[in-house]
Structure 1
Amino acid sequence: MYFVYDLGGTFIKYALMDRAGTVVMKDKFPTNVKSAEDLVAQMVEKFQPYKEDVRGIAVSCPGIVDTKTGIIYKGGSFPFMHEKNLAAMLTEACGVPAVIQNDAKSAALAELWMGVAKGVDSAVVLTLGTGVGGGVILDGKLYNGFNLMAGEVSYVQTDFDTKTLKGEVFGMTGSAVQLISRIATAKGLADKKDGEACFQFIHQGDSEAIAIFDEYIYALASQLMSIQYLIDPEIIAIGGGISAQEIVIEKLHLAVKEIVRVSPFHAAKPNIVACRFQNDANLYGALYNYFLRFE
Protein backbone atom coordinates (compact mmCIF):
# COMPACT_ATOMS: atom_id res chain seq x y z
CA MET A 1 0.00 0.00 0.00
CA TYR A 2 0.97 3.63 -0.50
CA PHE A 3 0.06 6.74 1.46
CA VAL A 4 -0.74 9.70 -0.78
CA TYR A 5 -1.24 13.38 0.06
CA ASP A 6 -2.66 16.27 -1.95
CA LEU A 7 -1.71 19.57 -0.31
CA GLY A 8 -4.30 22.23 -1.14
CA GLY A 9 -4.89 25.75 0.07
CA THR A 10 -8.21 24.85 1.74
CA PHE A 11 -7.85 21.16 2.54
CA ILE A 12 -5.12 18.56 2.70
CA LYS A 13 -6.39 15.30 1.24
CA TYR A 14 -4.85 11.97 2.06
CA ALA A 15 -5.51 8.44 0.86
CA LEU A 16 -4.34 4.86 1.19
CA MET A 17 -4.01 3.43 -2.32
CA ASP A 18 -2.81 0.17 -3.82
CA ARG A 19 -0.57 -0.58 -6.82
CA ALA A 20 -3.54 -0.48 -9.22
CA GLY A 21 -4.62 2.95 -7.99
CA THR A 22 -7.58 1.67 -6.00
CA VAL A 23 -8.48 4.02 -3.15
CA VAL A 24 -8.76 1.94 0.04
CA MET A 25 -9.27 4.92 2.34
CA LYS A 26 -9.62 8.63 1.69
CA ASP A 27 -10.11 11.64 3.97
CA LYS A 28 -9.08 15.26 4.38
CA PHE A 29 -8.41 17.89 7.02
CA PRO A 30 -8.45 21.72 6.89
CA THR A 31 -5.23 23.42 5.84
CA ASN A 32 -4.27 25.22 9.02
CA VAL A 33 -0.48 25.14 9.17
CA LYS A 34 2.05 27.91 9.68
CA SER A 35 5.38 26.14 9.37
CA ALA A 36 7.09 23.24 7.64
CA GLU A 37 7.42 21.40 10.94
CA ASP A 38 3.71 21.83 11.70
CA LEU A 39 2.77 20.59 8.23
CA VAL A 40 4.91 17.47 8.53
CA ALA A 41 3.61 16.77 12.05
CA GLN A 42 0.01 16.83 10.83
CA MET A 43 0.84 14.66 7.82
CA VAL A 44 2.65 12.12 10.01
CA GLU A 45 -0.30 12.02 12.41
CA LYS A 46 -2.57 10.81 9.59
CA PHE A 47 0.06 8.33 8.42
CA GLN A 48 0.70 6.62 11.77
CA PRO A 49 -2.41 4.35 11.95
CA TYR A 50 -1.47 2.80 8.59
CA LYS A 51 2.34 2.71 8.82
CA GLU A 52 2.59 -1.09 9.04
CA ASP A 53 0.94 -1.46 5.61
CA VAL A 54 2.70 1.40 3.78
CA ARG A 55 5.78 0.93 1.61
CA GLY A 56 5.99 4.51 0.28
CA ILE A 57 4.63 8.06 0.45
CA ALA A 58 3.63 10.24 -2.50
CA VAL A 59 2.81 13.95 -2.28
CA SER A 60 1.22 16.49 -4.62
CA CYS A 61 1.90 20.07 -3.61
CA PRO A 62 1.91 23.64 -4.94
CA GLY A 63 5.10 25.42 -5.92
CA ILE A 64 8.05 24.66 -8.14
CA VAL A 65 9.19 21.16 -7.20
CA ASP A 66 12.54 19.52 -7.80
CA THR A 67 11.37 15.92 -7.96
CA LYS A 68 14.92 14.56 -7.86
CA THR A 69 15.94 16.27 -4.62
CA GLY A 70 12.51 16.70 -3.00
CA ILE A 71 12.99 20.45 -2.51
CA ILE A 72 10.08 22.88 -2.97
CA TYR A 73 10.59 26.43 -4.25
CA LYS A 74 8.07 29.25 -3.69
CA GLY A 75 5.40 26.90 -2.31
CA GLY A 76 2.22 28.66 -3.45
CA SER A 77 -0.28 28.36 -0.59
CA PHE A 78 2.59 27.11 1.60
CA PRO A 79 5.20 29.92 1.34
CA PHE A 80 7.00 28.61 4.44
CA MET A 81 7.96 25.53 2.41
CA HIS A 82 10.32 27.56 0.20
CA GLU A 83 13.62 25.67 -0.11
CA LYS A 84 12.42 22.98 2.29
CA ASN A 85 12.98 19.31 1.47
CA LEU A 86 9.56 17.85 2.20
CA ALA A 87 10.49 14.44 0.79
CA ALA A 88 13.45 14.11 3.17
CA MET A 89 11.43 15.34 6.15
CA LEU A 90 8.69 12.77 5.53
CA THR A 91 11.16 9.95 4.87
CA GLU A 92 12.91 10.65 8.16
CA ALA A 93 9.66 10.95 10.13
CA CYS A 94 7.88 7.95 8.62
CA GLY A 95 10.70 5.56 7.79
CA VAL A 96 9.62 4.90 4.19
CA PRO A 97 10.62 6.54 0.87
CA ALA A 98 8.73 9.73 -0.02
CA VAL A 99 8.47 11.64 -3.30
CA ILE A 100 6.83 14.95 -4.19
CA GLN A 101 5.49 16.51 -7.37
CA ASN A 102 3.88 19.81 -8.33
CA ASP A 103 0.07 19.68 -8.14
CA ALA A 104 -0.65 20.59 -11.77
CA LYS A 105 2.02 18.19 -13.01
CA SER A 106 0.46 15.53 -10.78
CA ALA A 107 -2.86 16.09 -12.57
CA ALA A 108 -1.07 15.63 -15.89
CA LEU A 109 0.54 12.41 -14.64
CA ALA A 110 -2.88 11.08 -13.62
CA GLU A 111 -4.11 11.55 -17.18
CA LEU A 112 -0.92 10.00 -18.56
CA TRP A 113 -1.27 6.95 -16.29
CA MET A 114 -4.96 6.10 -16.59
CA GLY A 115 -6.71 9.05 -18.22
CA VAL A 116 -7.17 10.71 -21.59
CA ALA A 117 -3.41 11.05 -22.19
CA LYS A 118 -2.72 7.32 -21.77
CA GLY A 119 -0.88 6.10 -24.87
CA VAL A 120 -0.63 9.65 -26.24
CA ASP A 121 2.75 10.89 -27.46
CA SER A 122 2.17 14.56 -26.64
CA ALA A 123 -0.40 16.44 -24.59
CA VAL A 124 -0.96 19.57 -22.55
CA VAL A 125 -3.11 19.19 -19.44
CA LEU A 126 -4.62 22.37 -17.99
CA THR A 127 -6.40 22.54 -14.64
CA LEU A 128 -8.78 25.45 -14.27
CA GLY A 129 -9.09 26.48 -10.65
CA THR A 130 -7.99 29.51 -8.66
CA GLY A 131 -5.38 29.94 -11.37
CA VAL A 132 -4.45 27.76 -14.34
CA GLY A 133 -2.16 24.83 -13.68
CA GLY A 134 -0.40 23.08 -16.50
CA GLY A 135 1.52 19.95 -17.34
CA VAL A 136 3.30 19.16 -20.62
CA ILE A 137 3.71 15.62 -21.90
CA LEU A 138 6.28 15.04 -24.65
CA ASP A 139 7.34 11.67 -26.08
CA GLY A 140 4.95 10.00 -23.65
CA LYS A 141 6.68 11.50 -20.60
CA LEU A 142 6.09 14.47 -18.33
CA TYR A 143 8.36 17.33 -19.35
CA ASN A 144 9.61 19.41 -16.40
CA GLY A 145 11.74 21.94 -18.26
CA PHE A 146 15.26 23.23 -17.57
CA ASN A 147 14.11 25.37 -14.62
CA LEU A 148 11.28 22.99 -13.60
CA MET A 149 8.74 25.51 -14.94
CA ALA A 150 7.35 23.79 -18.04
CA GLY A 151 3.59 24.13 -17.98
CA GLU A 152 3.50 27.11 -15.59
CA VAL A 153 0.97 28.81 -17.86
CA SER A 154 -0.54 30.96 -15.11
CA TYR A 155 2.34 33.39 -15.68
CA VAL A 156 1.75 33.74 -19.44
CA GLN A 157 0.73 37.31 -20.34
CA THR A 158 -2.65 37.75 -22.00
CA ASP A 159 -2.05 41.46 -22.51
CA PHE A 160 0.77 43.86 -21.68
CA ASP A 161 1.06 47.59 -20.98
CA THR A 162 4.40 48.83 -22.34
CA LYS A 163 4.30 51.87 -20.04
CA THR A 164 3.66 50.14 -16.72
CA LEU A 165 5.26 46.85 -17.82
CA LYS A 166 2.29 45.09 -16.27
CA GLY A 167 -0.76 43.28 -17.62
CA GLU A 168 -3.21 40.43 -17.20
CA VAL A 169 -1.89 36.91 -16.95
CA PHE A 170 -3.49 33.61 -17.95
CA GLY A 171 -3.81 32.62 -14.31
CA MET A 172 -6.38 35.40 -13.90
CA THR A 173 -8.20 35.35 -17.26
CA GLY A 174 -8.41 31.55 -17.18
CA SER A 175 -9.37 31.29 -13.51
CA ALA A 176 -12.53 29.24 -13.03
CA VAL A 177 -12.88 30.72 -9.54
CA GLN A 178 -12.90 34.23 -11.01
CA LEU A 179 -15.46 33.17 -13.63
CA ILE A 180 -17.84 31.83 -10.98
CA SER A 181 -17.31 34.90 -8.79
CA ARG A 182 -18.16 37.25 -11.67
CA ILE A 183 -21.37 35.41 -12.52
CA ALA A 184 -22.36 35.09 -8.85
CA THR A 185 -21.82 38.82 -8.33
CA ALA A 186 -23.80 39.71 -11.44
CA LYS A 187 -26.70 37.51 -10.34
CA GLY A 188 -26.62 38.63 -6.71
CA LEU A 189 -25.71 35.26 -5.23
CA ALA A 190 -24.61 35.31 -1.60
CA ASP A 191 -22.12 32.49 -2.16
CA LYS A 192 -19.54 33.73 -4.67
CA LYS A 193 -18.17 30.18 -5.04
CA ASP A 194 -21.45 28.45 -5.94
CA GLY A 195 -20.46 27.06 -9.32
CA GLU A 196 -23.51 24.82 -9.55
CA ALA A 197 -25.89 27.78 -9.25
CA CYS A 198 -23.86 29.80 -11.76
CA PHE A 199 -23.99 27.05 -14.38
CA GLN A 200 -27.72 26.71 -13.81
CA PHE A 201 -28.05 30.31 -15.00
CA ILE A 202 -25.97 29.44 -18.07
CA HIS A 203 -28.02 26.32 -18.88
CA GLN A 204 -31.25 28.28 -18.43
CA GLY A 205 -30.12 30.79 -21.06
CA ASP A 206 -29.64 33.76 -18.74
CA SER A 207 -28.19 36.46 -21.02
CA GLU A 208 -26.06 38.10 -18.33
CA ALA A 209 -24.47 34.84 -17.19
CA ILE A 210 -23.93 33.68 -20.78
CA ALA A 211 -22.21 36.95 -21.73
CA ILE A 212 -19.69 36.51 -18.89
CA PHE A 213 -19.24 32.82 -19.72
CA ASP A 214 -18.71 33.48 -23.43
CA GLU A 215 -16.09 36.14 -22.69
CA TYR A 216 -14.25 33.65 -20.51
CA ILE A 217 -14.49 30.87 -23.13
CA TYR A 218 -13.14 33.04 -25.97
CA ALA A 219 -10.22 34.22 -23.85
CA LEU A 220 -9.47 30.60 -22.94
CA ALA A 221 -9.81 29.41 -26.54
CA SER A 222 -7.35 32.08 -27.66
CA GLN A 223 -4.75 30.75 -25.22
CA LEU A 224 -5.38 27.16 -26.33
CA MET A 225 -4.66 28.22 -29.91
CA SER A 226 -1.34 29.73 -28.78
CA ILE A 227 -0.44 26.55 -26.89
CA GLN A 228 -1.24 24.49 -29.99
CA TYR A 229 1.12 26.60 -32.10
CA LEU A 230 3.88 26.43 -29.49
CA ILE A 231 3.84 22.71 -28.67
CA ASP A 232 1.44 21.17 -31.21
CA PRO A 233 0.22 18.42 -28.86
CA GLU A 234 -2.10 15.61 -29.90
CA ILE A 235 -4.59 16.71 -27.25
CA ILE A 236 -5.20 19.58 -24.88
CA ALA A 237 -7.01 18.18 -21.84
CA ILE A 238 -9.05 20.50 -19.64
CA GLY A 239 -9.37 19.62 -15.95
CA GLY A 240 -10.55 21.23 -12.75
CA GLY A 241 -14.07 21.28 -11.33
CA ILE A 242 -15.71 23.07 -14.25
CA SER A 243 -14.47 20.47 -16.74
CA ALA A 244 -17.32 18.27 -15.49
CA GLN A 245 -19.67 20.71 -17.23
CA GLU A 246 -19.95 19.40 -20.80
CA ILE A 247 -20.84 22.86 -22.06
CA VAL A 248 -17.28 24.03 -21.31
CA ILE A 249 -15.68 21.70 -23.87
CA GLU A 250 -18.54 22.21 -26.33
CA LYS A 251 -18.20 25.99 -26.17
CA LEU A 252 -14.41 25.82 -26.51
CA HIS A 253 -14.75 23.88 -29.77
CA LEU A 254 -17.24 26.44 -31.07
CA ALA A 255 -15.03 29.34 -29.99
CA VAL A 256 -12.00 27.90 -31.80
CA LYS A 257 -14.07 27.46 -34.97
CA GLU A 258 -15.25 31.05 -34.75
CA ILE A 259 -11.71 32.37 -34.20
CA VAL A 260 -10.56 30.46 -37.30
CA ARG A 261 -13.55 31.71 -39.30
CA VAL A 262 -12.78 35.34 -38.50
CA SER A 263 -9.03 34.88 -39.09
CA PRO A 264 -8.67 32.28 -41.87
CA PHE A 265 -4.86 32.37 -41.72
CA HIS A 266 -5.05 30.17 -38.60
CA ALA A 267 -3.76 26.64 -39.17
CA ALA A 268 -4.00 25.27 -35.62
CA LYS A 269 -6.73 22.75 -34.87
CA PRO A 270 -6.46 21.92 -31.17
CA ASN A 271 -8.05 18.63 -30.11
CA ILE A 272 -9.68 19.75 -26.86
CA VAL A 273 -10.94 17.08 -24.48
CA ALA A 274 -12.08 16.89 -20.86
CA CYS A 275 -9.80 15.24 -18.32
CA ARG A 276 -10.91 11.92 -16.89
CA PHE A 277 -9.82 12.80 -13.37
CA GLN A 278 -11.14 15.84 -11.54
CA ASN A 279 -11.07 16.25 -7.75
CA ASP A 280 -8.79 13.24 -7.14
CA ALA A 281 -6.43 13.83 -10.05
CA ASN A 282 -3.56 14.97 -7.85
CA LEU A 283 -3.75 11.84 -5.69
CA TYR A 284 -3.51 9.53 -8.70
CA GLY A 285 -0.76 11.59 -10.32
CA ALA A 286 1.28 11.76 -7.13
CA LEU A 287 1.10 7.97 -6.80
CA TYR A 288 2.14 7.45 -10.42
CA ASN A 289 5.06 9.81 -9.80
CA TYR A 290 6.15 7.47 -7.00
CA PHE A 291 6.03 4.48 -9.34
CA LEU A 292 8.07 6.33 -11.96
CA ARG A 293 10.70 7.11 -9.36
CA PHE A 294 10.95 3.84 -7.43
CA GLU A 295 9.02 1.08 -9.21
Structure 2
Amino acid sequence: MYFVYDIGGTFIKFALMENNGNIKMKDKFPTTAKSAEELVAQMVEKFLPYKKAVKGIAVSCPGVVDSEKGVIYQGGSLLFMHEKNLAEMLARECHVPVVLQNDAKSAALAELWLGVAKDVHSATILTLGSGVGGGIIMDGKLQSGYHLMAGEVSYMESDFDTEKLRGEFFGRTGSAVELIKRIATKKNLTDKKDGEQVFALIAHGDEEANAIFNDYIYGLAVQILNIQYLIDPEIIAIGGGISAQPIVVERLNEAVAQIKAANPFHAAKPNIVTCRFQNDANLYGALYNFFIQFADEVI
Protein backbone atom coordinates (compact mmCIF):
# COMPACT_ATOMS: atom_id res chain seq x y z
CA MET A 1 0.00 0.00 0.00
CA TYR A 2 1.03 3.60 -0.61
CA PHE A 3 -0.12 6.82 0.99
CA VAL A 4 -0.73 9.57 -1.56
CA TYR A 5 -1.37 13.30 -1.08
CA ASP A 6 -2.67 15.88 -3.54
CA ILE A 7 -1.95 19.33 -2.08
CA GLY A 8 -4.25 22.03 -3.42
CA GLY A 9 -4.91 25.63 -2.50
CA THR A 10 -8.30 24.83 -0.95
CA PHE A 11 -8.09 21.18 0.10
CA ILE A 12 -5.47 18.50 0.57
CA LYS A 13 -6.66 15.12 -0.65
CA PHE A 14 -5.12 11.94 0.71
CA ALA A 15 -5.60 8.33 -0.27
CA LEU A 16 -4.45 4.83 0.50
CA MET A 17 -3.68 3.18 -2.84
CA GLU A 18 -2.57 -0.20 -4.14
CA ASN A 19 0.12 -0.91 -6.75
CA ASN A 20 -2.46 -1.08 -9.53
CA GLY A 21 -3.93 2.32 -8.66
CA ASN A 22 -6.93 0.99 -6.79
CA ILE A 23 -8.02 3.49 -4.15
CA LYS A 24 -8.79 1.77 -0.83
CA MET A 25 -9.55 4.95 1.12
CA LYS A 26 -9.83 8.62 0.17
CA ASP A 27 -10.53 11.78 2.14
CA LYS A 28 -9.51 15.42 2.32
CA PHE A 29 -8.96 18.28 4.75
CA PRO A 30 -8.87 22.08 4.29
CA THR A 31 -5.59 23.73 3.35
CA THR A 32 -5.22 25.90 6.43
CA ALA A 33 -1.49 25.59 7.20
CA LYS A 34 0.52 28.80 7.41
CA SER A 35 3.98 27.20 7.48
CA ALA A 36 5.79 24.17 6.13
CA GLU A 37 6.04 22.71 9.62
CA GLU A 38 2.29 23.04 10.21
CA LEU A 39 1.54 21.48 6.83
CA VAL A 40 3.80 18.50 7.55
CA ALA A 41 2.20 18.01 10.97
CA GLN A 42 -1.26 17.90 9.39
CA MET A 43 -0.12 15.42 6.74
CA VAL A 44 1.58 13.17 9.28
CA GLU A 45 -1.57 13.11 11.41
CA LYS A 46 -3.53 11.62 8.48
CA PHE A 47 -0.76 9.11 7.73
CA LEU A 48 -0.19 7.64 11.19
CA PRO A 49 -3.30 5.40 11.40
CA TYR A 50 -2.11 3.59 8.26
CA LYS A 51 1.68 3.58 8.78
CA LYS A 52 2.01 -0.21 9.32
CA ALA A 53 0.56 -0.93 5.88
CA VAL A 54 2.41 1.77 3.92
CA LYS A 55 5.57 1.20 1.84
CA GLY A 56 5.99 4.79 0.72
CA ILE A 57 4.46 8.23 0.33
CA ALA A 58 3.76 10.06 -2.95
CA VAL A 59 2.88 13.75 -3.10
CA SER A 60 1.42 15.99 -5.79
CA CYS A 61 1.87 19.69 -5.01
CA PRO A 62 1.84 23.15 -6.59
CA GLY A 63 5.01 25.00 -7.50
CA VAL A 64 8.15 24.16 -9.43
CA VAL A 65 9.23 20.80 -8.05
CA ASP A 66 12.64 19.11 -8.13
CA SER A 67 11.28 15.59 -7.99
CA GLU A 68 14.68 13.96 -7.55
CA LYS A 69 15.62 16.09 -4.53
CA GLY A 70 12.11 16.56 -3.12
CA VAL A 71 12.40 20.36 -3.04
CA ILE A 72 9.59 22.79 -3.89
CA TYR A 73 10.30 26.20 -5.44
CA GLN A 74 7.82 29.10 -5.49
CA GLY A 75 5.08 26.90 -4.01
CA GLY A 76 2.21 28.17 -6.14
CA SER A 77 -0.61 29.10 -3.76
CA LEU A 78 1.52 27.94 -0.80
CA LEU A 79 4.38 30.42 -0.96
CA PHE A 80 5.69 29.34 2.45
CA MET A 81 6.84 26.09 0.79
CA HIS A 82 9.46 27.89 -1.31
CA GLU A 83 12.81 26.06 -1.11
CA LYS A 84 11.43 23.56 1.42
CA ASN A 85 12.42 19.91 1.09
CA LEU A 86 9.00 18.46 1.77
CA ALA A 87 10.14 14.92 0.92
CA GLU A 88 12.86 15.04 3.55
CA MET A 89 10.55 16.59 6.16
CA LEU A 90 7.88 13.93 5.67
CA ALA A 91 10.32 11.03 5.51
CA ARG A 92 11.87 12.13 8.80
CA GLU A 93 8.46 11.90 10.52
CA CYS A 94 6.96 8.91 8.70
CA HIS A 95 10.05 6.70 8.22
CA VAL A 96 9.19 5.63 4.66
CA PRO A 97 10.45 6.84 1.24
CA VAL A 98 8.76 10.02 0.00
CA VAL A 99 8.64 11.46 -3.52
CA LEU A 100 7.17 14.71 -4.86
CA GLN A 101 5.91 15.91 -8.21
CA ASN A 102 4.30 19.09 -9.52
CA ASP A 103 0.49 18.84 -9.69
CA ALA A 104 0.11 19.40 -13.44
CA LYS A 105 2.94 16.98 -14.18
CA SER A 106 1.25 14.48 -11.88
CA ALA A 107 -1.91 14.78 -13.98
CA ALA A 108 0.18 14.08 -17.08
CA LEU A 109 1.76 11.05 -15.42
CA ALA A 110 -1.70 9.69 -14.60
CA GLU A 111 -2.56 9.77 -18.30
CA LEU A 112 0.80 8.22 -19.19
CA TRP A 113 0.29 5.37 -16.73
CA LEU A 114 -3.38 4.44 -17.14
CA GLY A 115 -4.96 7.05 -19.38
CA VAL A 116 -5.05 8.41 -22.92
CA ALA A 117 -1.25 8.89 -23.17
CA LYS A 118 -0.45 5.27 -22.30
CA ASP A 119 0.23 4.00 -25.81
CA VAL A 120 1.07 7.18 -27.73
CA HIS A 121 4.39 8.53 -28.97
CA SER A 122 3.93 11.94 -27.39
CA ALA A 123 1.30 14.00 -25.63
CA THR A 124 0.67 17.38 -24.10
CA ILE A 125 -1.74 17.42 -21.17
CA LEU A 126 -3.56 20.69 -20.43
CA THR A 127 -5.38 20.80 -17.10
CA LEU A 128 -7.98 23.58 -17.00
CA GLY A 129 -8.66 24.72 -13.46
CA SER A 130 -7.92 27.89 -11.52
CA GLY A 131 -5.02 28.25 -13.97
CA VAL A 132 -3.76 26.08 -16.81
CA GLY A 133 -1.49 23.20 -15.86
CA GLY A 134 0.70 21.56 -18.46
CA GLY A 135 2.60 18.32 -18.82
CA ILE A 136 4.68 17.14 -21.78
CA ILE A 137 5.20 13.47 -22.60
CA MET A 138 7.83 12.51 -25.18
CA ASP A 139 8.83 8.94 -26.04
CA GLY A 140 6.95 7.68 -23.01
CA LYS A 141 8.69 9.99 -20.54
CA LEU A 142 7.61 13.11 -18.69
CA GLN A 143 9.71 16.13 -19.66
CA SER A 144 10.92 18.37 -16.85
CA GLY A 145 13.15 20.84 -18.71
CA TYR A 146 16.50 22.33 -17.73
CA HIS A 147 14.91 24.64 -15.13
CA LEU A 148 12.13 22.16 -14.21
CA MET A 149 9.60 24.38 -16.00
CA ALA A 150 8.69 22.36 -19.08
CA GLY A 151 4.93 22.53 -19.47
CA GLU A 152 4.43 25.63 -17.31
CA VAL A 153 1.99 26.98 -19.88
CA SER A 154 0.21 29.27 -17.40
CA TYR A 155 3.09 31.72 -17.87
CA MET A 156 2.70 31.96 -21.65
CA GLU A 157 1.42 35.37 -22.69
CA SER A 158 -1.00 36.64 -25.31
CA ASP A 159 -2.14 40.10 -26.52
CA PHE A 160 1.24 41.56 -25.55
CA ASP A 161 1.29 45.29 -24.79
CA THR A 162 4.62 46.80 -25.90
CA GLU A 163 4.12 49.90 -23.74
CA LYS A 164 3.43 48.02 -20.52
CA LEU A 165 5.77 45.17 -21.54
CA ARG A 166 3.23 42.61 -20.47
CA GLY A 167 0.29 40.64 -21.80
CA GLU A 168 -2.41 38.37 -20.44
CA PHE A 169 -1.10 35.17 -18.89
CA PHE A 170 -2.57 32.02 -20.41
CA GLY A 171 -3.13 30.83 -16.84
CA ARG A 172 -5.82 33.49 -16.51
CA THR A 173 -7.31 33.52 -20.01
CA GLY A 174 -7.45 29.72 -20.01
CA SER A 175 -8.76 29.40 -16.45
CA ALA A 176 -11.93 27.34 -16.21
CA VAL A 177 -12.68 28.96 -12.86
CA GLU A 178 -12.51 32.44 -14.44
CA LEU A 179 -14.70 31.30 -17.35
CA ILE A 180 -17.42 30.08 -14.99
CA LYS A 181 -17.13 33.22 -12.87
CA ARG A 182 -17.49 35.51 -15.91
CA ILE A 183 -20.60 33.74 -17.18
CA ALA A 184 -22.13 33.47 -13.70
CA THR A 185 -21.58 37.19 -13.16
CA LYS A 186 -23.05 38.09 -16.54
CA LYS A 187 -26.14 35.98 -15.84
CA ASN A 188 -26.47 37.17 -12.22
CA LEU A 189 -26.16 33.66 -10.80
CA THR A 190 -26.01 33.47 -7.01
CA ASP A 191 -23.17 30.93 -6.97
CA LYS A 192 -20.26 32.24 -9.04
CA LYS A 193 -18.60 28.79 -8.95
CA ASP A 194 -21.58 26.74 -10.19
CA GLY A 195 -20.13 25.12 -13.29
CA GLU A 196 -23.11 22.84 -13.81
CA GLN A 197 -25.52 25.77 -14.02
CA VAL A 198 -23.16 27.64 -16.34
CA PHE A 199 -22.84 24.72 -18.73
CA ALA A 200 -26.59 24.18 -18.63
CA LEU A 201 -26.95 27.73 -19.97
CA ILE A 202 -24.39 27.01 -22.69
CA ALA A 203 -26.08 23.74 -23.66
CA HIS A 204 -29.48 25.43 -23.91
CA GLY A 205 -28.14 28.05 -26.30
CA ASP A 206 -28.05 31.10 -24.02
CA GLU A 207 -26.53 33.81 -26.26
CA GLU A 208 -24.63 35.71 -23.58
CA ALA A 209 -23.21 32.57 -22.00
CA ASN A 210 -22.19 31.18 -25.38
CA ALA A 211 -20.53 34.45 -26.43
CA ILE A 212 -18.24 34.33 -23.38
CA PHE A 213 -17.67 30.59 -23.82
CA ASN A 214 -16.76 31.01 -27.50
CA ASP A 215 -14.21 33.72 -26.70
CA TYR A 216 -12.66 31.38 -24.14
CA ILE A 217 -12.61 28.46 -26.58
CA TYR A 218 -10.99 30.45 -29.40
CA GLY A 219 -8.28 31.74 -27.06
CA LEU A 220 -7.60 28.19 -25.95
CA ALA A 221 -7.62 26.92 -29.54
CA VAL A 222 -4.97 29.48 -30.56
CA GLN A 223 -2.65 28.33 -27.77
CA ILE A 224 -3.27 24.69 -28.72
CA LEU A 225 -2.16 25.47 -32.27
CA ASN A 226 0.95 27.18 -30.89
CA ILE A 227 1.74 24.15 -28.74
CA GLN A 228 1.20 21.83 -31.71
CA TYR A 229 3.71 23.77 -33.80
CA LEU A 230 6.27 23.90 -31.00
CA ILE A 231 6.10 20.31 -29.70
CA ASP A 232 4.06 18.44 -32.34
CA PRO A 233 2.58 15.88 -29.93
CA GLU A 234 0.48 12.95 -31.13
CA ILE A 235 -2.36 14.09 -28.88
CA ILE A 236 -3.28 17.14 -26.82
CA ALA A 237 -5.43 15.98 -23.91
CA ILE A 238 -7.74 18.31 -21.99
CA GLY A 239 -8.17 17.62 -18.28
CA GLY A 240 -9.56 19.24 -15.15
CA GLY A 241 -13.15 19.23 -13.94
CA ILE A 242 -14.31 21.16 -17.00
CA SER A 243 -13.24 18.28 -19.25
CA ALA A 244 -16.25 16.29 -17.99
CA GLN A 245 -18.32 18.55 -20.27
CA PRO A 246 -18.13 16.95 -23.77
CA ILE A 247 -18.92 20.31 -25.36
CA VAL A 248 -15.47 21.63 -24.38
CA VAL A 249 -13.42 19.31 -26.61
CA GLU A 250 -16.16 19.37 -29.26
CA ARG A 251 -16.02 23.17 -29.49
CA LEU A 252 -12.22 23.18 -29.35
CA ASN A 253 -12.00 20.93 -32.39
CA GLU A 254 -14.53 23.11 -34.20
CA ALA A 255 -12.60 26.29 -33.30
CA VAL A 256 -9.29 24.88 -34.53
CA ALA A 257 -10.94 23.85 -37.82
CA GLN A 258 -12.44 27.34 -38.24
CA ILE A 259 -9.13 29.09 -37.49
CA LYS A 260 -7.35 26.88 -40.01
CA ALA A 261 -10.04 27.46 -42.65
CA ALA A 262 -9.69 31.24 -42.21
CA ASN A 263 -5.92 31.04 -42.70
CA PRO A 264 -4.75 28.46 -45.25
CA PHE A 265 -1.13 28.84 -44.09
CA HIS A 266 -1.97 26.79 -40.97
CA ALA A 267 -0.59 23.27 -41.34
CA ALA A 268 -0.84 21.94 -37.77
CA LYS A 269 -3.28 19.12 -37.10
CA PRO A 270 -3.79 18.89 -33.33
CA ASN A 271 -5.59 15.76 -32.17
CA ILE A 272 -7.55 17.10 -29.18
CA VAL A 273 -8.95 14.49 -26.80
CA THR A 274 -10.36 14.32 -23.29
CA CYS A 275 -8.24 13.06 -20.40
CA ARG A 276 -9.37 9.86 -18.71
CA PHE A 277 -8.75 11.21 -15.23
CA GLN A 278 -10.29 14.34 -13.74
CA ASN A 279 -10.46 15.08 -10.01
CA ASP A 280 -8.26 12.14 -8.97
CA ALA A 281 -5.63 12.57 -11.70
CA ASN A 282 -3.01 14.02 -9.34
CA LEU A 283 -3.32 11.08 -6.95
CA TYR A 284 -2.72 8.53 -9.70
CA GLY A 285 0.13 10.54 -11.22
CA ALA A 286 1.84 11.09 -7.87
CA LEU A 287 1.77 7.34 -7.23
CA TYR A 288 3.18 6.56 -10.68
CA ASN A 289 5.95 9.07 -10.01
CA PHE A 290 6.85 7.00 -6.93
CA PHE A 291 7.09 3.91 -9.13
CA ILE A 292 9.29 5.75 -11.64
CA GLN A 293 11.75 6.74 -8.91
CA PHE A 294 11.65 3.31 -7.30
CA ALA A 295 11.66 1.16 -10.44
CA ASP A 296 11.58 -2.12 -8.53
CA GLU A 297 8.12 -1.20 -7.26
CA VAL A 298 6.56 -0.96 -10.71
CA ILE A 299 4.03 -3.72 -11.35
Contact 1:159 1:169 in 2 (8 A): no
SS of 2:166's equivalent in the other structure is coil
Q: Does 1:68 align with 2:42?
A: no
Q: Separation in 2 of the partners of 1:209 and 1:233?
A: 32
Q: Separation in 1 of the partners of 2:119 and 2:145?
A: 21
Q: Which residue of 1 aligns with 2:230?
A: 230
Q: Separation in 1 of the partners of 2:269 and 2:21?
A: 33
Q: Separation in 1 of the partners of 2:113 and 2:24?
A: 19
Q: Separation in 2 of the partners of 1:17 and 1:32?
A: 25
Deviation at 1:219, TM superposition (A): 0.5
Q: Which residue of 2 aligns with 1:124?
A: 124
Q: Does 1:176 align with 2:152?
A: no
Deviation at 1:7, TM superposition (A): 0.1
| 1:105-254 mapped onto 2 (5 Å cutoff) | 105-254=105-254
Q: Separation in 1 of the partners of 2:60 and 2:37?
A: 17
Q: Does 1:264 align with 2:249?
A: no
* Structure 1: gaps (5+ residues): none
SS of 2:119's equivalent in the other structure is coil
Q: Which residue of 2 aligns with 1:41?
A: 41
Q: Separation in 2 of the partners of 1:234 and 1:138?
A: 9
Q: Which residue of 1 aligns with 2:83?
A: 83
User: 1:129-186 deviations in whole A, cap 9, x for unaligned?
Assistant: 0100000001110000000000000000112111110110110110000100000001
Q: Separation in 2 of the partners of 1:29 and 1:145?
A: 32
Alignment size in residue pairs:
295
Deviation at 1:206, TM superposition (A): 0.4
Q: Separation in 1 of the partners of 2:146 and 2:166?
A: 25
Q: Separation in 2 of the partners of 1:76 and 1:214?
A: 29
SS of 2:157's equivalent in the other structure is coil
> Sequence identity of aligned pairs in percent?
71
* Structure 2: gaps (5+ residues): none
Q: Separation in 1 of the partners of 2:259 and 2:185?
A: 29
List, as ranges, runs of 4+ consecutive aligned residues in structure 1 with deviation greater than 2 Å. Answer: none
User: 1:74-123 deviations in whole A, cap 9, x for unaligned?
Assistant: 00111001000000011110000000000000000000000000011110
Contact 1:156 1:170 in 2 (8 A): yes
TM-score when scaled to structure 1?
Answer: 0.99
1:95 counterpart letter in structure 2? H
Deviation at 1:201, TM superposition (A): 0.3
Q: Which residue of 2 aligns with 1:278?
A: 278
SS of 1:133's equivalent in the other structure is strand
